[in-house]
Amino acid sequence: MSATMHMHGGIGESIKRKEDARFLRGKGNYIDDLTLPSMLHMAILRSPHAHARIKSVDTSAAGSMPGVIAVVTGELMAQHKLAWMPTLSYDTQAVLATDKVRFQGQEVAAVIAETKYQAEDARDAIVVDYEILPAVTSPEGAKAAGAPLIRDEKEGQKDNHIYHWESGDKAKTQAAFANAAKVVRLHTFYPRCHPAPLETCGCVADVNPATGKATIYMTSQAPHAIRTVFALVTGLPEQNIRVISPDIGGGFGNKVPVYPGYVVATAASLLIGRPVKWIEDRSENLISTGFARDYHMTGDLAVDANGKMTALRVHLDSDNGAFFSDAQPSKFKAGLFHIVTGSYDIPTAHITADGYYTNKAPGGVAYRCSFRVTEASYLIERLVTNAALELGLDQAEFRMNNFVKPEQFPYTSATGWIYDSGDYPKAMNVALEKLGYDELRKDVEARRKKGEVTGIGIASFTEVVGAGHGADFDILGLRMFDSAELRVHPTGKALLRMGTKSQGQGHETTFAQIVAEELGIPASDVAVEEGDTDTAPYGLGTYASRSTPVAGAATAMVSRKLRDKARMIAAHLLEAADEDLEWERGKFYVKGSPDRAKTIQEIAFAAYTNLPEGMEAGLEGVHYYDPPNMTYPFGTYAVVVDVDKGTGQVKVRRMVAVDDCGVRINPMIVEGQIHGGLTEGFGIAFMELITFDSEGNCIGSNFMDYLLPTAWETPKFEIGETVTPSPHHPLGAKGVGESATVGSPAAYVNAVIDALSPYGITNIDMPVTSDKVWAALRSKGVTE
Amino acid sequence: MWGFLGGQAMFPAAFDYLAPTTLGEALDILAERGDDAKVMAGGQSLIPLLKLRFAQPALVLDIGRLPKLNVVSRHDGRLIIGALVRHVDVERDRTLADNAPIMAEAAHWIADPLVRNRGTLVGSVCHADPAGDWGAVMLALNAELVAKSKAGERVIAAAEFFKDPFTTALKPNEIVTEIRIPIPPGQAGGAYNKLERKVGDFATVAVAVQVEMNGRKVTRAGIGLTSVGPTNIKATEAEKALAGQELTDETIREAARLAASAADPKDDIRGSAAYKKDVVRVFVQRGLHTALGRAQEKRT
């Protein structure tokens, strides 16, 4: 590749991230950096109890404290019909509690004051009289006879059951199980964890009393959808709402939902006529905002005498917290969980799911996950390893023998997903070779003979990302397209505006590279803007690895539209016919006469100065891309662990990750995404946990209890790739942000279970902490 | 004082702040307001408590400007560690490395470099968090604390210092100005083993072990435990059982058993009481083996 081409920044080039210049210099612009004239500060009073009836709220002392402008209660919100709001899962959620509190950390009242200190002092002076009720902290508790009714305000709600949902073919699956040579069962709990972005959620709501225009600066991964939701909830005309998401310090799904704090701050600004800032502290973020997982799963895998998987049966109980507000746009109650057959050609499957209310925070966000694919991938990959161990088969070989074969694509899964492309054996082989699997297997046996506890884990995941086509997805009816608007200036530089919103993924670089590839303008000459609903085209936002599959496709398509117009202008300038021109990245030339050429910069100038007769001026366009199908990234991860028999500590010795996300636009950014995901997967596997005591007190409400891995404990990652383009994406790209978080937890846990399997240990639920490993070993009499 | 923290949002309740420049001045202030005051050295434990409003003292007395307290010295067969000596200083100090190498080993385990750069050893001991690392090391080394007040000076043995969680033998009008550690006369070795869930976490269990040898026999053993009771615990029975003995697999196993029974942990998110007791056993075994090796190394 020549030096000039390297400067261009087209597809496949690992150019440095354009946004990093400001981030590395501390010049990012986050919500809390924003100060508006006469801005007030809001502090939220939260419930100390998981379940309690509110007998009274006394704000008199708080209201007369220095600097206090207003104390907002549920009663006041109710007067404006804003005490409750709709959720994305067609339930309702309390904005400020009026009747009961239903989880610890629930919003009860808010103080608006001149300074944050004054707001917090006054918040502590609000007196709430609670009648404490028994708390429900698990689906098991929720369905127990005599369980307290959590949603007693909902008409017709007689118990804590939210939904029952099924997928697949029950009869066919039953029949397959009846004929199975072997059935392997795994019961596992994927515990509640939290995206924990380093920047917490917050907003500055600025409702101008003169114009009625509401400008809301907000930590949102989906500003346009939020604007529409706000319009529907508040009744404000949509043109009077402007949502601006500035730089975002990590989202991971946590910044998709509408949180009560946003609504209260906006209502307060509207009532008071001054801007109101609300910034969560760390504990508020961990205890009240969108959690992830909390799935209790039982999987049965039927295998025939030849070691072929013949059927899969799964039941899951979902713990949804106090309000069903899963932030997911699919038409399926358990999200995309029915991708659970994963990478395997399993002829039939049947999935049943039940959702339950509990006295825990609501939210069910997809923490770096495409709507419950993480739980599905974890279950099938754990189950497959357990089946291999139980059947005495090699984990890798058992997978290889059951993979969907490359020639089967496009492949329709037993639950109806149409996998676009894949080559699973290839990714597996690259991973095994990188790992030195055969040698390692022998080494494991040798070490075990010496009394060491060591093992290898494999996971071969299939992801489903890029939501999504209108048949299966929408947000309150809005189809899941995304958009790109490209404007080329007379000097040949460009502005690309998008409906997505980066939270650190590197959109300003990746999408500029797509323009560089498709329209020939160097990536450094393309400014990318997102996040301002008054300027960016409408889009559904960034989550579930959808930006490259959807908005990336839109960027390619709009670039091609402009290229078509550029061809006509070039033909005019070169006095040639359109069809006589050839495109080479960055210029058009006359067939057979490469010297007769016009660069895209010359063409851009002509678009404003020297147009063909009758042509509209300018070089600009917009494209809304409605994806025809999901994309299906995949890969094989392999982990080697050593276990300390004395303390139960697990040390990850090796971690090999081979990803196939189709065509890589910026390989460095892709690798960065994979490193991040593998780190989060490691955290989820070994330390991250939001749990509750029997009274519903949240344990994991700060970073001393909710553990995030640091560089110190995170293993070294050895990464590799294969490239199987998506056949339906204009660039062949698939999206990669979440593959590693989805695929890696099972690989880590499989390694631990493989290590413990000689002692007859078949499962430890995440997080696999040293005390759990110790208990498992001691229960089998293994000690130091 | 918020400036150096980068203007981050921290919202403690209101408090007075005084930063005297002489010890006399500081002791005068404590004589008057000690009951409602918290003494702050490096602030690494106190500031988080203030921020979360778990601690709401009327006065924060910052002793960070008192002179001559940031010194490690050797005097009269003892190591002297001043009240403003930071964890990072302990990590790097040659005198400590030569005479009590367990201290550098333990210092590495404390929180993270950011905390170690500001937090102090004496402040951490006075904070008396049962999960604190230094308490166990001080118990293993038979350290003494020098407490000063307007009324004068008294010396408190580490074994007498820790009373309850976050509660010490210190009176409200007293400041600990230094810690003294007797320098072992002959061959000695120590080890600090810590189980933590991630870097910077408080210990699930940690064990400090120090042995002083004469030939093959133990003349004195010190064993301090972290995070397995209401205070740091001195495993006295185990120490006694080792005195005068050779360190064999058998005596080590017995000492480990006794130390584990001295532990009084609770079930919590880090693990069950049984788990923690067993890790004490494992760490005493490992620690004694390591300490023995180090003591023998030192002889050669």
Kindly state whether B108 is in contact with chain A, defined as any CB-CB distance less than 8 angstroms. no
User: Percentage of residues in chain A with pLDDT exceeding 70?
Assistant: 99
> For B3-14, what is the mean pLDDT?
51
d(CA B169, CA A426) in angstroms, rounded, equals: 67
A375 pLDDT above the threshold of 60: yes
Q: Mean pLDDT over all residues of chain A?
A: 96
Chain B environment of A699 (Cβ under 8 Å): 269
Write out pLDDT tens, residues A531-556.
999 999 999 999 999 999 999 999 99
Give the span between the Cα atoms of A303 and A300, in whole angstroms: 10
Query: How would you write A89-152 as a 3-class SS string?
Result: CCCEEECCCCCEECCCCCEEEEEEECCHHHHHHHHCCCEEEEEECCCCCCHHHHHCCCCCCCCC
DSSP E strand boundaries for A706-750? 718-721
Ordered by where they begin, the domains of chain A are: 3-27+481-625 (3.30.365.10), 34-133+199-249+255-288 (3.90.1170.50), 374-464+629-779 (3.30.365.10)
- Contact check, Cβ <8 Å, B201/A771: no
Average pLDDT over residues A642-662: 98
Per-residue pLDDT tens digits for A663-693: 999 999 999 999 999 999 999 999 999 999 9
Beta-strand pair A214-218/A241-244: parallel
Per-residue confidence (pLDDT) for residue B3, from 0 to 100: 27
Catalytic residue among A93, A106, A118, A221: A221
Domain termination site, one of B182, B206, B228: B182
B223 and B257 in a single domain? The answer is: yes
pLDDT at residue A384 above 50? yes
- Please tell me the predicted confidence (pLDDT) of residue A74: 98
CB A622 within 8 A of CB A537: yes
Contact A74, A109 (CB under 8 A): yes
pLDDT at res. A108: 97
Give domain status of residue B298, yes or no: no
Radius of gyration of chain B (CA): 19
- Inside any domain, residue B2: no
> Is the pLDDT confidence value at B9 over 80?
no
Q: What interface predicted TM-score (ipTM) does this complex get? A: 0.94
Query: What pLDDT is attached to residue A383?
Result: 98
**B218 found inside a domain:** yes
pLDDT digits (tens, 9 = 90+) for A714-753: 999 999 999 999 999 999 999 999 999 999 999 999 999 9
> Tens digits of per-residue pLDDT, B179-205?
999 998 889 999 999 999 999 999 999
Per residue in A453-478, pLDDT (tens digit) is 999 999 999 999 999 888 899 888 88
What are the tens digits of pLDDT across the range A338-369?
999 999 999 999 999 999 999 999 988 889 99
Contacts 24+ apart (CB under 8 A), A230-238: A230/A258, A230/A266, A232/A86, A232/A476, A233/A82, A233/A85, A233/A86, A233/A258, A233/A263, A234/A82, A234/A266, A234/A267, A236/A212
Q: Name every residue whose Cβ is closer than 8 Å to that of residue B32 and which is 6 or more positions away in sequence.
A: none
pLDDT tens string B201-223: 999 999 999 999 999 999 999 99
The Cβ of residue A132 has, within 10 Å, a number of other Cβ atoms equal to 13
> Per the structure, how many domains does chain B have?
3
The pLDDT score that the predictor gives to residue B53 is 83
Query: Is B166 found in the same domain as B129?
Result: yes
Residues B88 and B175 in one domain: yes
Beta bridge partners of A157: none
The answer to whether residue B138 sits within a structural domain is yes
Does residue B300 form part of some domain? no
Phi, psi of A149 (to 5 degrees): -85, 115
CATH number for the domain spanning B239: value is: 3.30.390.50
Residues B174 and B191 in one domain: no
Total number of residues shown for chain B:
300
Average pLDDT over residues A184-206: 97
Instruction: Tell me if B3 is assigned to some domain.
Output: no
Of chain B residues 9-48, which have a CB less than 8 A from chain A?
9, 11, 13-14
- B118 and B206 fall within a common domain: no
pLDDT in tens, A565-604: 999 999 999 999 999 999 999 999 999 999 999 999 999 9
| pLDDT the model gives residue A471 | 86
Same domain, B101 and B147: yes
Give me the pLDDT at residue B297, please.
85
Reply yes or no on whether the pLDDT at A306 is more than 50. yes
Q: Do B37 and B123 fall within a single domain?
A: no
Do B281 and B198 fall within a single domain?
Answer: yes
CATH code where residue B174 lies: 3.30.465.10
Cβ-based contacts of A771 with chain B (< 8 Å): 204, 270-272, 275
The answer to whether B198 contacts A116, with C-beta atoms less than 8 Å apart, is no
Instruction: Note the pLDDT tens digit of each residue in A20-52.
Output: 999 999 999 999 999 999 999 999 999 999 999
C-beta separation of A381 from A747 below 8 A: yes
Which residues constitute the domain of residue B54?
A: 10-61
pLDDT of A4 reads 43
Check if A513 is active-site: no
Tokens of A352: 């049943």
Same domain as B289, residue B200: yes
Tokens of A215: 């400008």
Mean pLDDT of A746-761: 98
pLDDT at residue B5 is higher than 80: no
Please check whether residues B117 and B55 belong to one and the same domain. no
* CATH label of the domain that carries residue B15: 3.30.43.10
Q: Which residues of A515-546 are buried (b: 16+ CB within 10 A; e: fewer)?
A: bbbbbbbbbebbebebbbbeebbbbbbbbbbb
Q: Do B271 and A774 touch (CB under 8 A)?
A: yes
- Residues B168 and B262 placed together within one structural domain of the fold: no
Residue of B nearest to A774 (CA): B275
Q: Would you say residue B155 lies in a domain?
A: yes
Are B11 and A120 within 8 A, CB to CB? yes
The two structure tokens encoding residue A342: 């994963």
Reference A205, options A120, A110, A123, A274; nearest CA is A274
pLDDT at B7: 30
CB contact (8 A) between residue A116 and residue B11: yes
Same domain, B175 and B225: no
Task: Look at residue B110 and tell me if it is in a domain.
Answer: yes
How many residues are recorded in chain A? 784
Rounded to an integer, what distance in angstroms lies between the CA atom of residue A571 and that of residue A559?
18
Q: Is residue A368 annotated as part of the catalytic site, yes or no?
A: yes
Query: Omega before A37 cis (within 30°)?
Result: no
**Euclidean distance between CA atoms A198 and A250, whole angstroms:** 6
CA dihedral of residues A327, A329, A330, A335 (deg, nearest 10): -20
Please, what is the end-to-end C-alpha distance for chain B in angstroms?
51
